[in-house]
Amino acid sequence: MSSKAFNSFQIAQAQFDKVAEYLGLDAATRELLRYPLREYHFAIPVRMDDGSMKIFRGFRVQHNDARGPGKGGIRFHPQETIDTVKALSMWMTWKCAVVDIPLGGAKGGVICDPHNLSQREQEQLCRGWIRQVVRNVGPVADVPAPDVMTNSQHMLWMLDEFERIMGGRFPGFITGKPVGMGGSLGRTEATGYGVVFTLREAMKELGIKAENTEASVQGLGNVSRYAIELYQQLGGKVIAVSCWDQTDQCSYTYRKMKGIDLQQLLSITDRFGGINKAKAQELGYEVLPGDAWMEQEVDILIPAAIENQLTGDNIGKISQRVKIIAEGANGPTTPEADVKIRERGILLIPDFLANAGGVTCSYFEQVQSNMNYFWSKEEVLGKLDMKMTAAYYAVSELARREKLYMRDAAYAIAIGRVAQACHDRGWV
């Protein structure tokens, strides 16, 4: 069956099955890890501004907590499904394990569109979500964070409700809090910088100097802008950036052969990460079709926008010069494209390794919150660099030793660590 016919949870299970086979996991361990340990489905009643009551559906899924408390975001999305949340919770387990932080995998969601809710209604929804799962989450059980369409304000309302019920201050219960209210410095930069920490090591392994490389990037949002910033600081040149245009409802690629000026582009970018096309043209950028970013004559591709961008249909368009693909986004490459990337011998830094800087910094936030002592930005980013670099080498050394594709090596390390923890605890 083609992967297109699977839902996200079936894809996550299929990926797991492949690696479980490679690792030779026993039947009980497979059965344990193929499914979440716990799933909570609940109703959240909210008194709307017009006086009516509305019932929202909420979820929290804890895939595995053998290595530590569950960790994972809460999404607000009108098309949220339990299967998506289950898949994302499983991917969180592998992401925390591959960077070797002592946390498990979890994810949550509410079926809603926050754009159609007032601030007061959103606050009630956040507080209601906590009331429904308060017995099953907490700083030593399951630690939520922001995700799609949730932000630091939502996290603070949730923390406040948790603390009211529990009677005390538990800043380590939730991450993604505002700086000054228990948030960590460096969190904004963490995912994008993390991508480039791994990219920097990949370049070293290939014997390439950053200053002799050119890159093309998809996205100009939270992940991509900081990835571009750090890559440029290392001396690399970004010649093209692709992003979504709200007005035209399609994406465009903005190219400048002598290298983009990040600050200049950000000054004409809206809050959704879309560039003002007319202003970009005035500043001398060529405006090309949305997928032109992947066809550029560059050494490095950084897909850091959305999923399913490099596919079996378009992977043939990437230049023969490309040596490294660093996946900033979650799931930007389909399994069909993976086969071609592997055949071409391109060094792929898989998503759940490359973009694990975000969750690693969330872990640092939790540590700082629990200590009630906060580190400087330099300290946070220095620790992040060490974690990401160590994780990169663990994966690349296994890939080289066992002649594995980098994605498979990353899965093998992550799943192997979680399976070992379950075994050591006597669960299987």
- Binding residues (CB under 6 A) for ligand NAD: these are 191, 218-224, 242-244, 251, 273-274, 290, 304-306, 328-330, 355, 358
Nearer to ligand NAD, 223 or 418 (CB): 223
What is the smallest separation between the CB atom of 310 and ligand NAD, expressed in angstroms?
12
Nearer to ligand NAD, 124 or 269 (CB): 269
Catalytic residue among 86, 95, 107, 256: 107
What is the smallest separation between the CB atom of 192 and ligand NAD, expressed in angstroms?
8
Closest CA to 388 of 354, 346, 337, 426: 354
Distance in angstroms (rounded) separating the CA atoms of residues 417 and 361: 20
What is the smallest separation between the CB atom of 302 and ligand NAD, expressed in angstroms?
11
Q: Are 14 and 6 in contact (CB under 8 A)?
A: yes
Nearer to ligand NAD, 147 or 408 (CB): 147
What is the smallest separation between the CB atom of 348 and ligand NAD, expressed in angstroms?
16
Nearer to ligand NAD, 239 or 422 (CB): 239
What is the smallest separation between the CB atom of 266 and ligand NAD, expressed in angstroms?
10
Q: Is there a catalytic annotation at residue 107?
A: yes
What is the number of the residue whose Cβ is closest to ligand NAD? 221
Contacts of 233 (CB under 8 A, 6+ apart): none
Nearer to ligand NAD, 213 or 242 (CB): 242
What is the smallest separation between the CB atom of 176 and ligand NAD, expressed in angstroms?
9
Alpha-carbon distance values, 176 to 229, 275, 391, 402 (Å): 22, 26, 23, 38
Q: Are 132 and 42 in contact (CB under 8 A)?
A: yes
Nearer to ligand NAD, 20 or 149 (CB): 149
DSSP 184: P
Closest CA to 215 of 293, 130, 276: 293
In DSSP terms, 145 is beta-bridged to: 73
- Cα atoms in the Cβ-side hemisphere of radius 13 Å centred on 65: 20
Distance in angstroms (rounded) separating the CA atoms of residues 245 and 289: 11
**CB-CB neighbours of 423 under 10 Å:** 16
Closest CA to 36 of 110, 103, 117, 91: 91
Instruction: List, by residue number, the catalytic residues.
Output: 107
